[in-house]
Amino acid sequence: MDHLFSVLTFAALTGPLPKLGVVAVAVLAAAVLVLPDRRRQALAMVGALVLSPALLLAEIWNSPQLGTLHRHPLLAAFAIVIAVAVLIAGSALITRRPSLVAVLAVVALPFRVPLQAGGKTSNLLVPLYLVVAASALAWIWSAMRDPGSAWAARERPRDDRTAGLVRTVERLLALYLVLYGLQATYSADFETALQNMVFFYVPFALLYRLLRSLAWSRRLLRDCLLATAALAIAFSLLGFWEYATKTIILNPKLVVTNELHTYFTVNSVFFDPDIFGRYLALTMILLAVWLIYDRGRREQGMVTAVLAILWACLVLSLSRSSFGALLVGMGVLAALRWKPGRALVVAVAVIVIGGGAAAVSPRTFGLNQGINGASSGRGGLVSGGLRLFADRPIWGWGSGSFVTEYRRHNPHRFTALSASHTIPVTVAAEQGLIGEVAYAAFVIAAILLLVRGARGDPVRSAVAAAFIALVCHTFLYADFLEDPTTWTLLAVGVSLAVAPVPVRGRVAVEAEAVSSARSDALVSPAGS
């Protein structure tokens, strides 16, 4: 009997069921994003919460980490009971105070736990998963009891165009999720596609819906920003300690890299200096908005001090992609605050100065090694990805298959990097024109929505600038929809586009003037 059970289990876990499961869970996540009725969204959310762990369990069933649970089923049952009790307690607390979802999610965003799945060690956002699961239970309870409860934000878009853009963004995002699930079925690396779906896309889609359901207030936005700034300062202090002691607490590969070079790179609690740099750069963009709008000197002085700390640690991370993202984000802030022409002049001046410095001392910037050497081998990955796209331009090689296909097609150019580090190239190689068009349409629509009406609004300007900076970072590094920050910024930005937070002081007068001018421009043709 035990042998028969083992055979049946193996057949279920290695047959077509996992592939069908990935497609099904992708459809459920998409339904959470686009269904208009909260009760239907809740049912889709229940399905995603049940099916995702089942798929994950199927993936890691034979993993050494589950060996203890196989040998001690009572211990496994006890662990499940404890986990369920924690989730129920958390959901009860969040049911009474839904705004806790935002703060808890922001605090949990950076923390990753290394776990083995499918024979690979992945750095998973376990604390964030717990927050999402507990919050989802509270959201489902609220939606099924009273669809019009206080948990649901009152969505009254200012105009039909905004409402149309919101629907377009969410439908395109849902389309991309479904395409990713379908294209995983013919991938040579189905395990990676499955992990991306259950570890990232599904929980982050639920996170997006949860954050979109909140009524964002000035106080809630301030609490989230303060929590982010406090964490960034703490991570920076840890980075300074790493640099002073020449000690890396995470990522053994970075330890080896530091031993091979004269410079020393810090990564704080992150497993990758580029992810650490991205976190610091995005935080700096969100804080910088305080300096260019009407704020008190005391607040601006405190923000300046924080920015100085974050900048110093960003330099120690040596993340060139993060420096580029920071420059882009600051340029967007300037363009939204003042006339775009001025921001463009400053950007051109910075580029000219940077180009001149690189020409004078190419060795400093690694340009003496060529493009591939200066980018740590990423140039070869990009060119290899483009060749993969050329071989299958329509449907691609399948979701999550870039590393496998790249190594199969380039056996003489083995690389330790895990992706092309250019998201559009990764999407093109894995999903062809089908996925590339969906991805590009989503990014363009999201940027249009976040930027539209953001001029004169400090909060919306900061969110739009951070999102655009993150998109630019993905041109030089991996992780776009695999990063919960993308979904968080998008959820906040879309919520504020639908229901902006009132602006105070001189900025409110400027915003009102801009709004009146636009209204006059729209009305005058009809009146004449």
Q: What are the residues facing 366 on neighbouring strands?
A: none
Given a cut of 70, the residues of the chain with pLDDT beneath it are 1-15, 59-70, 72, 115-122, 147-158, 250-263, 340-380, 412-420, 502-528
Q: According to the model, what pLDDT value does residue 69 have? A: 66
- What does the pLDDT look like over 362-398, one tens digit per residue? 555 444 444 444 445 466 678 888 999 999 999 999 9
How far apart (Å, rounded) are the C-alpha atoms in residues 55 and 53? 5
Given a contact cutoff of 8 angstroms between Cβ atoms, the answer to whether 23 and 181 are in contact is: yes
Q: According to the model, what pLDDT value does residue 477 have? A: 83
Q: What are phi and psi of 155, to 5 degrees?
A: -90, 110
How far apart (Å, rounded) are the C-alpha atoms in residues 164 and 421? 32
The amino acid at 337 = R
Given a contact cutoff of 8 angstroms between Cβ atoms, the answer to whether 465 and 330 are in contact is: yes
43 alpha carbon, distance to own chain's centre: 25
123 by DSSP, 3-state: which? strand
How far apart (Å, rounded) are the C-alpha atoms in residues 57 and 59? 5
305 alpha carbon, distance to own chain's centre: 27
Q: What are phi and psi of 414, to 5 degrees?
A: -60, 135
How far apart (Å, rounded) are the C-alpha atoms in residues 425 and 420? 7
Contacts of 140 (CB under 8 A, 6+ apart): 42, 45, 46
User: Which ranges in 157-201 belong to alpha helices (H)?
Assistant: 160-183, 190-196
The amino acid at 335 = A
Which of 465, 453, 447, 450 lies closest to 512, judged by CA? 453
How far apart (Å, rounded) are the C-alpha atoms in residues 448 and 495? 14
Q: According to the model, what pLDDT value does residue 82 have? A: 86
Q: According to the model, what pLDDT value does residue 139 have? A: 93
How far apart (Å, rounded) are the C-alpha atoms in residues 332 and 466? 9
**First-residue to last-residue Cα distance in the chain:** 86
How far apart (Å, rounded) are the C-alpha atoms in residues 323 and 274? 10
Domain-wise residue ranges, the chain: 2-172+188-212, 218-374+452-519
Q: According to the model, what pLDDT value does residue 516 have? A: 46
Q: What are phi and psi of 294, to 5 degrees?
A: -75, 95
Q: How many residues in the chain?
A: 528
Which of 514, 506, 496, 511 lies closest to 459, judged by CA? 496
| The 3-state secondary structure of 496-523, one letter per residue | HHHCCCCCCHHHHHHHHHHHHHHHHHHH
pTM score of the predicted model: 0.86
Given a contact cutoff of 8 angstroms between Cβ atoms, the answer to whether 24 and 81 are in contact is: no
- What does the pLDDT look like over 34-68, one tens digit per residue? 998 888 999 999 999 999 988 877 766 666 666 66
Which stretches does DSSP call E strand in 278-381? none
